[in-house]
A = this chain, B = another copy of it.
Amino acid sequence: MIPAILRKNITTRWSTTSRVRYLASVASPIKEAVTSSAFFPDEPTKPNVVTAIPGPASKKIMSRLDKYQDTRSIFFIADFAKSKGNYIVDADGNTLLDVFAQIASIPIGYNNPAFLALSQEPAFQTALANRAALGVNPNIDWVDSVEKAFMAVAPKGMTNVFTVMCGSCANENAFKTAFMYKAAKRRGDRDFNLEELNSCMKNEAPGSPDDMSILSFNQAFHGRLFGSLTATASKAIHKVDIPAFDWPKAPFPQLKYPLEDHKEHNKQVEQAALNQVEFMITTAKKPIAGVVIEPIQSEGGDNHASPEFFRGLQAICQKNDVLFIVDEVQTGVGATGTFWAHEAWQLPTPPDMVTFSKKFQAAGFFLSPRLRPAQAYRLYNTWMGDPVRAMQAAAIVQEIKDKQLLQNVQDVGSYLQENLTEMTKSAPIENIRGQGAFIAFDLPDGKKRDSFLMDMRQRGVNIGGCGDRTVRLRPMLTFQRHHADILLDTMKESFA
């Protein structure tokens, strides 16, 4: 590893990031102490691989499961009861350091004591045994969960939240909200007319408008249902054969990495992208109701853009009365070193909607109160989210605060970024980019990337890919320097 004395102060890419408000009172300079004591005293100290992965026990289960479900995407069968902290144990007893974390879905480590303790609480068990239709009969403590899980970390000014069951549902309901808002504005003060109410029942205009759209970006991933898949453009295999709406895609700026070495070029590329977005918005045949964007395009290859780009994008949206929707399904909940990745942009006013899922366990979106539909039952469904997962979200918020996990992510993120940058001199990796511990790099091609991932898994480190030739690190918030050292050493062995 690079001796501390030689380390430059790279830290996280956006060093002026604001803290989430609930952390303001406990924010403190990064202390070595944060990372020098392990969060999980009883987790394994290193990987231990005893079979090929997947091993015979995994394969046996996969073969049994394959009768019912497609198993071709399965890496290996987990034994979660034996997994701990940052380590996943598989059916064959292999112990892997996990920097993929169930596709970026595990926030605070396997079998975190806070989660296990929550499971014993009577209120939690009540929620489990009595699933509410939250739009009809929320439980007496639902409002507490809303405050502790969502309002505690709500982006400034976004005092409303609509909860649903998954990330795709979150994005689609945000899109619906944008369409309802835009249509209401266009309609002015009048109520729906009969033509609108009758035509929508036949999926016809004007009730089902065919002259509004959501603008998203090339390489974006926003989900796999019909509306969210329309906005997605990361891989053709996700989209081919599925009908889509005629919604446009703008170019996402294709920056050169490392960012600090290509500032002028990247600035020009971003300005060109913004110009194109503005041109598309102002000349669209179908008016754009909302623009949706990921802070870091994740499935699409971990593509970054600067805070200036996002501020410019918001300004264009505001100028043209287009809603600005930030998809934080993968970037949210601490992985970038702030609770929400978009905090790093220092927007002058909050986004219109921010969607979440994955690491938060609960899914949904924040919205400003002005976007709440004037009529009831328009943002609505049977469950409207899961109170059990909202209670877990509240526990995650508390754990992040108690353990200063954002500071940990900032610390380990900068440590990883600088060591990976150093590694580019001796290993075939390039284009190191990251925000906090949400880090990626490229290998020469997809084939080499896939071999690398397989080899790392066999050496005891579980990692995932994205884009065409990218490796994405998605460690949990409990990933520390001593884990980073194992990851880096194993990479060196793999490349050797």
Give 5 closest A-B pairs by Cβ, nearest first: A226-B227, A183-B241, A72-B376, A80-B130, A165-B165
Cβ A115 vs Cβ B128 within 8 A: yes
Query: Binary interface profile of A, 88-130, with partner B (CB < 8 Å = 1, else 0)?
Result: 1011000000001011011000111001100100110111111
**Which residues from 32 to 90 on chain A have a C-beta closer than 8 Å to any C-beta of chain B?**
57, 61, 64-65, 67-70, 72-81, 83, 88, 90
A381 at the interface (CB under 8 A from B): yes
Per-position 1/0 for A392-413, Cβ under 8 A of B: 1000000000000000000000
| A70 surroundings in chain B (CB, below 8 A) | 372-373, 376, 379
How distant is the Cα of A72 from the Cα of B249 in the complex, in angstroms? Answer: 37
Please judge, given known A-B contacts A74-B136, A136-B103, A237-B378, whether A126 and B245 are in contact too, CB under 8 Å.
Answer: no
A111 to B236, CA, bound (A): 46
Q: Are A226 and B129 in contact (CB under 8 A)?
A: no
A223 to B176, CA, bound (A): 13
For A78, give its contact among B132, B135, B159, B226 (CB under 8 Å).
B132
Asked if A19 is an interface residue, CB under 8 A from chain B, the answer is no
Contact check, A161 vs B111: say whether CB atoms are below 8 A apart: no
Task: For the complex, give the distance between the alpha carbons of A213 and B372 in Å.
Answer: 32
Q: Name A169's contact: one of B65, B68, B166, B373 (CB within 8 Å).
A: B166
A201-B233, A225-B226 are contacts. A115–B100 as well, Cβ < 8 Å? Answer: no
Interface residues as binary, A131-168 with B (CB distance below 8 Å gives 1, 0 otherwise): 11101111110110011001100000001111011111
By the criterion CB–CB under 8 Å, are B68 and A224 in contact?
no
Contact between chains at B139 and A111 (CB < 8 Å): no
Q: 8 Å CB contacts to B: which residues of A258-292?
A: none
**How distant is the Cα of A225 from the Cα of B175 in the complex, in angstroms?**
10
**CB-defined A-B contacts under 8 Å, sample of 26:** A68-B159, A70-B376, A77-B137, A78-B130, A79-B139, A79-B140, A80-B126, A80-B129, A81-B126, A88-B137, A103-B382, A115-B129, A119-B125, A128-B388, A169-B225, A172-B226, A175-B226, A180-B242, A192-B240, A197-B240, A201-B239, A208-B240, A209-B241, A225-B225, A243-B245, A357-B382
Within 8 A of B (CB), among A175-220: 175-176, 179-180, 183-184, 192, 196-198, 200-204, 207-210, 212-213, 218
Residue in chain B with minimal CB distance to A210: B243
A345 within 8 A of B: no
Q: Does A447 sit at the interface, judged by CB under 8 A? A: no
Bound state CA distance, A494 and B296, in angstroms? 59
Q: Which residue of B lies closest to A286 (CB)?
A: B243
Q: Is the CB of B115 within 8 A of A69?
A: no
Of A135, A159, A242, chain B has the most CB atoms within 10 Å of the CB of A242
| Contacting residue for A200 out of B136, B139, B236, CB 8 A | B236
Q: Give Cα distance in the complex from A233 to B202, angstroms.
A: 8
Asked if A383 is an interface residue, CB under 8 A from chain B, the answer is yes
What CA separation (Å) do A74 and B78 show in the bound complex? 41
Interface residue? A361 (CB, 8 A): yes
A119 to B154, CA, bound (A): 31
Nearest Cβ on chain B to A9's Cβ, whole angstroms: 35
Say yes or no: is A358 at the interface (Cβ < 8 Å to chain B). yes
B102 and A131 contact, CB distance less than 8 A = yes
* A361-B131, A382-B105 given; A243·B212 CB < 8 A: yes
Chain B neighbourhood of A173, CB < 8 A: 225
Nearest CB on B from A210, distance (A): 7
Q: For residue A175, which residues in chain B have a CB less than 8 angstroms away from its CB?
A: 226
Partner of A137, one of B74, B208, B213: B74
Residues on the B chain within 8 Å of A357, using CB:
382
* CB atoms of B224 and A236 under 8 A apart: no
Q: 11 new A-B pairs (CB below 8 Å) besides A74-B138, A78-B140, A165-B165?
A: A61-B138, A68-B147, A68-B161, A70-B372, A80-B130, A116-B125, A173-B225, A200-B239, A200-B244, A209-B241, A227-B227
- The interface residues of chain B lying within 8 Å CB-to-CB of A235 are 377
Q: What residues on B are CB-neighbors of A381 within 8 Å?
A: 166, 168, 223-224
Closest CB of chain B to A142's CB: distance in Å? 7
Task: Give the shortest distance, in Å, between A195 (CB) and chain B (any CB).
Answer: 11
Distance between A146 CB and nearest chain B CB, rounded to angstroms? 5
A495 within 8 A of B: no
Task: Give the chain B neighbours of A249 by CB distance below 8 A.
Answer: 201-203
Partner of A358, one of B100, B209, B237, B382: B382
